[in-house]
A and B are shown apart, each in its own frame.
Chain A
């Protein structure tokens, strides 16, 4: 039996004053592209951060392509640095003090210093070209359009050849008019990437464009998708 691409069991409770929220999900899937859909506050970001190692679940395990990232019973918890994942943040989290080129090359250079403004790396050049960012290489993120920011952030995540890609609401920071076009562009690109991918969204249009399998998250639990959604995602 082949190892499943996604094998997760996560339980985590967050407390803030008298309120508490608990995420409790088990997920087993062989699909390469998975979409987790749900309203805001359902725990989607918490799930994604747990996979990336940015927060630590109370119990459970996380395995991607058979590689164990977290296992509470065996005391395994890899740091985010060790997980080697690509993460596309909701508002892209580009480093405002670094140029497009420096942003993309950020993870390729270890140590205490940022890559120099003039430093040319073949892998960075490849993605600059592939995403049509070549002429913008020396600009700062503040001068870019929403779509250009998204591509820069995606290039930054992909340049180090991550083992999986996590996408947090990739279109919510964009102009609605742009969303549809960029959705199909990103869907095309992701089709060609052989790595597991998990996208979280609260936008039903994202569900239609991505994902071979859609899971519905509500109040921290995976539930049966509402009827309307199932139809569209199969259509």
Chain B
């Protein structure tokens, strides 16, 4: 029993949930913010920006991981700056894994968020203005409640994607058991080392979590709210 409880699979699961949770939170802010900006803003280079923001969806995760490594590494432009001024190093940390997972899953939040904002009838926002409501009030009282379901669907997909992230995470955070070794990475390591028992347990845990996420998605997602 004690053996079952201290299984490293739980550590890997906890880490995976933490990384995916943080990445999803990050994408909630970034994806929704950028989605709103591109849905509403009219500025030159908008289409180019949209293409760039969608790239993570089609690029191999290892390529994204390599870019991050170059950017965030101690000799990279951002990594060097962070190291010099704050003594922060993101490579081979779980926070680095969060950034990798967030980048890979970003378009899954940004795309539906943008579409959801574009689907909100601009006349409703104008009605709010005429009624004396401030711009920020209009966002929270009209735009967000009407776009929320589309955004939520994107967030759930992004969470699932971040949970399964492998390539970029391995490049940026490596595979340090108990520190950066997430479920997907742990499965790979277990199979490579011929530890079939361990691999079986990890795969079972991952599958259960995926089913749970899907069930939760069914409970929260469109349909229920739409009826009202």
Contact = CB atoms under 8 A, between A and B. Distances in A.
Interface stretch (B46-54, B127-135, B201-209): B127-135
A9 interface: no
B25 interface: no
Contact of B145 (A52, A53, A54, A97): A97
A54 B140 contact: no
Given A83-B130, A106-B128, 12 more contacts: A52-B130, A53-B129, A80-B126, A81-B132, A84-B132, A87-B127, A93-B124, A93-B127, A112-B137, A114-B141, A114-B145, A140-B228
A78 to B, nearest CB: 12
A93 B121 CA distance: 9
A79 B145 contact: no
Interface string B37-59: 00000000000000000000000
A97 B123 contact: no
Nearest to A84: B132
Contacts, number: 62
B130 A80 contact: yes
22 contacts: A79-B129, A80-B126, A80-B130, A81-B132, A81-B133, A81-B134, A84-B132, A85-B130, A87-B130, A89-B126, A93-B123, A93-B126, A97-B145, A97-B146, A106-B141, A107-B133, A110-B137, A112-B140, A112-B141, A113-B140, A140-B228, A156-B131
Nearest to B148: A97
Nearest to B142: A95
B123 A89 contact: yes
B131 A160 contact: yes
Interface residues of A, number: 28
A212 to B, nearest CB: 25
Given A106-B131, A107-B132, A54 B126 contact: yes
A89 B145 contact: no
B1 interface: no
Interface in A125-184: 140, 156-157, 160
Nearest to A80: B129
A63 B26 CA distance: 48
Contacts of A66: none
B141 A113 contact: yes
A96 interface: yes
Interface in A66-117: 79-81, 83-87, 89, 91, 93, 95-97, 106-107, 110-114
Given A97-B146, A113-B141, A54 B130 contact: yes
The 5 A-B pairs at the shortest CB distance, nearest first, are namely: A107-B131, A80-B129, A93-B127, A87-B130, A112-B140
Interface in A205-235: none
Contacts of B126: 54, 80, 89, 93
Contacts of A89: 123, 126-127
Contacts of A93: 121, 123-124, 126-127
B136 interface: yes
Contacts of A84: 132
A54 B123 CA distance: 10
A114 B124 CA distance: 14
Interface string B112-129: 000000000101101111
Contacts of A80: 126, 129-130
Interface in B178-220: none
A97 B136 CA distance: 18
Nearest to A92: B127
A105 to B, nearest CB: 10
A5 B137 CA distance: 32
B124 to A, nearest CB: 5
Nearest to B128: A106
A106 B131 CA distance: 8
Given A93-B121, A140-B228, A160 B141 contact: no
Nearest to B124: A93
A47 B101 CA distance: 50
Contacts of B142: 95
Contacts of B121: 93
Contacts of B137: 110-112
A111 B140 CA distance: 9
A99 to B, nearest CB: 10
A150 to B, nearest CB: 14
